Homo-oligomer: A and B are copies of this chain.
Amino acid sequence: MGKYYLGIDLGGTDIKTGVIDEDYNIVAKHVIPTQANRSVDEVVADMAAAGKTAVKMAGLSESDIVYVGVGVPGAVNSKTDVVLLAPNLPGWRKIDFIPIFQKYWDIPVFLGNDADAAALAEVYAGAAKGYDYAIVLTLGTGVGGGLVFDKKLFTGCGLGTELGHIIIVTGGEKCGCGSHGCLEAYASVTALLREAKRFMKEYPDSLLHELCGGDTSQISGRIIFDAAKQDDVAAKAIVADYVKYLGTGIASLCNALRPEVVILGGGVCNAGEPLFGPLDKIVESEIFSTDDGGLPPILRAELGNDAGIIGAALFGVGR
């Protein structure tokens, strides 16, 4: 019998747990609501219980699990295994996670950031399979990012990277992190929708209003790309701006880090070619490349919502 690992993807809404086999397949999955307003201890107890349920669902016993990997939506000190801060989980500040978890399940535990988990998953089992050096960006409410170098997670001096917070516009848009002009302030879905609302005010005749049913708050990435496909001027301008900033951020990261491949995840990537086509052009024009390479392919993430579980289950690799 092969080896099995348990991955837990802790989110503000759900706790996703899954048993992974040696080939990175999810053999059983169990998801429960986080109920983030509870105490840390209660949430952790439920994480352990949900994980054990997934193990049973897989027809395995707890002793079949080599270790548990946990991805947290926040900053983790990878040297001390302390959760420094998880913005969407009230009370999660300087939490020494592993001892709490082990009260409920006495098993080796590896802790990490959820975007780092997604990056590892894409490299071992997803779109970046076969590459050793990858940047993985997830475009959502924020911009999460993970760096994998030489097939290992890169976390700087232990605080984890914050790729969504490279600064692409000096003195630009205020970012949630307190800085200005961060990639996240231009390339997150939040930023895309913010800009869409600005444009909709300027373009009262835009198709976007009709597609929103007259309610600006209903605007979405899908609506914007749909309207752009129908040649709506405002929508095309919104997409062009979004791609310009995202592409510039990717070029900047590539210049600093020289990955072999860049992977993009998040719902906005469903736009497909109308996003990736122009993006390739911007990155190519703004990157510092040499004849010998330096222009990595930009690919769409493959694992979707499962990346967090699979990647968490990989946190123990090489450690």
Contact = CB atoms under 8 A, between A and B. Distances in A.
A257 interface: yes
Interface string A249-280: 10111011111100000000000000000000
Contact of A170 (B157, B244, B294): B244
A168 B180 CA distance: 11
Interface stretch (A99-107, A207-215, A284-292): A284-292
A318 interface: no
Interface residues of A, number: 55
Nearest to A186: B170
A157 B259 contact: yes
Given A169-B169, A179-B287, A157 B251 contact: no
A125 to B, nearest CB: 20
A275 B181 CA distance: 23
Q: What number of copies of this chain does the assembly contain?
A: 2
A17 interface: no
A162 B253 CA distance: 10
A85 B162 CA distance: 31
B258 A155 contact: yes
A165 B289 CA distance: 11
A1 interface: no
Interface in A170-202: 170-171, 177-182, 186
Contacts of A132: 157
Contacts of A258: 155-162
B292 A167 contact: no
Contact of A166 (B165, B182, B252, B290): B252
A286 B180 CA distance: 7
A159 B255 contact: no
A293 interface: yes
A148 to B, nearest CB: 11
A163 interface: yes
A133 interface: yes
Given A156-B259, A166-B166, A256-B162, A84 B248 contact: no
A107 to B, nearest CB: 26
Nearest to A131: B157
A156 B165 CA distance: 20
A287 B292 CA distance: 34
Interface string A145-158: 00001000011111
Interface of A: 75, 77, 82, 84-85, 94, 132-133, 149, 154-163, 165-171, 177-182, 186, 244-245, 248-249, 251-253, 255-260, 285-288, 290-294
